[in-house]
Amino acid sequence: MSSTGRVGGAGPGTTNSGDPNRWTAVLLQWRNWSLLAKLATIALIPLVFAAILGGLTIHTQLTQVQKYSVANRLVTFNDQIRVVVSALQAERTQAAMSSRQANAAAATKVQKQTDATVKALRSTAGDNQQLDQMASMAWMNANDQLGKLGTIRQQWQSNPDSAIGGYTDAIDQLQMLDSTLGHQAQAGDLAEPTMALYDIDASTEEISQQQAIVLLGIARGSVTPAEADLLRASQARQDDKVNDFTAMGEPSDVDLFKKTVTGSDITTRDQLVKQAIDNAPTGDQAANSNTGDVSNTSTPLNISAQDYNAVSDSTTSKYQKVATALVQKVHDASANLQSNAGSGLTTAAAVLFSALPFALVAVWLIARQLLSSIGALNRGARDVAAHKLPQAVADIRAGNEVSTEVEPIPVETHEEVGQLARSFDAVHREARRLAVEQATLRARYAGVFVNLS
């Protein structure tokens, strides 16, 4: 029997040649592949695609986990920035209050507190190696400005206006860093609370800046025209940030803000700032004010530094209460994003690494059973063709009685292979019956010729 009579034909592995053209021809003649090769192909191709898709899913989830992990560290970095900003604001206020009175103990206390927060910030920045290019540049600028604190502090008594400006510049750089980190960390549910928190922090800084400028004016007797312009610009920025917050913030956050940032202290502070602006000298009065001579300026600013500090601190406290709620919201969102991404990664990995072995085992069991059935059918058919049927024919010719019943091929399944085995049994049975009938007919014809003779 020729090799083409083998079950399934030649597979892609039957060639001994290393010729690429020969392999190409074998691949193109896939109809002649062995059944094992065909089964392996139809089973492995989907499994390979599933493994690739699963790997891509795991890679995506892992990327998300890393992204949210970085975002979580940046949120912590932002917290430290806010602490330093708060310390610098307190030191700026102290500098404004001490511009006309020596208070070494109070100055030393707030400066030590600021130095401690700056040291912690630099340590946190050193641990954050995931800063993008813009954030790295913003940190370098902010750190450079923090390095000038020593020079700024030396100007408390000699040039308080310059000292206040130096603190404001440092805070501006830190808030720019805060904004840059916020944009880098924004992901999913982090975007809205991060932007809302930035608006509240920026508004708080404007209130603190106004506090320092007005305190300088109280100590001097009035604010200068330049300081009045600064106050107007600061109020405009504060209003813009509050409007941004109320327009873009979540309803629950806006509702919290409206319920918290209200009261007579808010109104009183606004009135005192307006009074300081309105009291600013003009014309010749402005010239005298710029030289430090307040005797010929407008009516001295009749505001108590203690009272103004009280309403300013109260206003700042209310803004900070809203900020604290937003900080918690940012932390919760960051933790949830990281947790969900981690859960997604675990689930994807578990499904992939449990489903693939199960699929491979299932494919192996089914292929093994199918190949076993086909092998039994092949062996049974060959045995019938080579031995059983020829033996039956020989027995018939020898005059022996031969039964038309056949031994079934040992394939007991009911699917297509089992049906094919039963069909072959029927063919075998019919062949034996026809052989018996032919032998009987030959015997009868022989008897007729004998009788005729």
Q: Are 194 and 229 in contact (CB under 8 A)?
A: no
* Residue 184 identity: Q
Q: What is the pLDDT of residues 209-244, one digit of tens each?
A: 999 999 999 988 889 999 999 999 999 999 999 999
Asked whether residue 274 falls in the same domain as residue 420, the answer is no
Residue 42 belongs to some domain of the structure: no
Q: What is the pLDDT of residues 265-282, one digit of tens each?
A: 999 999 999 999 998 887
* Residue 440 identity: T
- Straight-line distance from the first to the last Cα atom of the chain, in angstroms, rounded to the nearest whole number: 45
pLDDT surpasses 70 at 286? no
Asked whether residue 239 falls in the same domain as residue 372, the answer is no
Position 98 scores a pLDDT of 72
pLDDT surpasses 90 at 13? no
Q: Which range scores top for mean pLDDT: 15-29, 99-113, 243-257, 415-429?
A: 243-257
- Mean pLDDT throughout 5-10? 44
The Cβ of residue 26 has, within 10 Å, a number of other Cβ atoms equal to: 19
For the record, the structure tokens of 87 come out as: 């310390």
Total number of domains in the chain: 2
Distance CA 304, CA 164 (A): 20
Asked whether residue 309 falls in the same domain as residue 376, the answer is no
Asked whether residue 100 falls in the same domain as residue 149, the answer is yes
Domain containing 407 equals 366-452
Asked whether residue 206 falls in the same domain as residue 238, the answer is yes
Instruction: Find where tokens 């700024």 sit.
Output: 152
Asked whether residue 261 falls in the same domain as residue 131, the answer is yes
- Mean pLDDT throughout 395-423? 85
Q: Are 278 and 299 in contact (CB under 8 A)?
A: no
pLDDT surpasses 80 at 127? no
Asked whether residue 76 falls in the same domain as residue 179, the answer is yes
Asked whether residue 62 falls in the same domain as residue 153, the answer is yes
pLDDT surpasses 90 at 330? no
pLDDT surpasses 70 at 425? yes
Q: Are 96 and 164 in contact (CB under 8 A)?
A: yes
Residue 104 belongs to some domain of the structure: yes
For the record, the structure tokens of 88 come out as: 């610098």
At 188, the pLDDT band (50, 70, 90 cuts) reads low
DSSP labels, 200-247: HHHHHHHHHHHHHHHHHHHHHSS--HHHHHHHHHHHHHHHHHHHHHHH
pLDDT surpasses 50 at 4? no
Distances (CA, A) of 115 to 76, 80, 132, 203, 369: 19, 13, 26, 24, 77
Residues 6+ apart with CB under 8 A from 313: none
Q: Are 95 and 164 in contact (CB under 8 A)?
A: yes
pLDDT surpasses 70 at 109? yes
Of residues 202, 208, 198, 143, the one with CA closest to residue 173: 143
Residue 260 belongs to some domain of the structure: yes
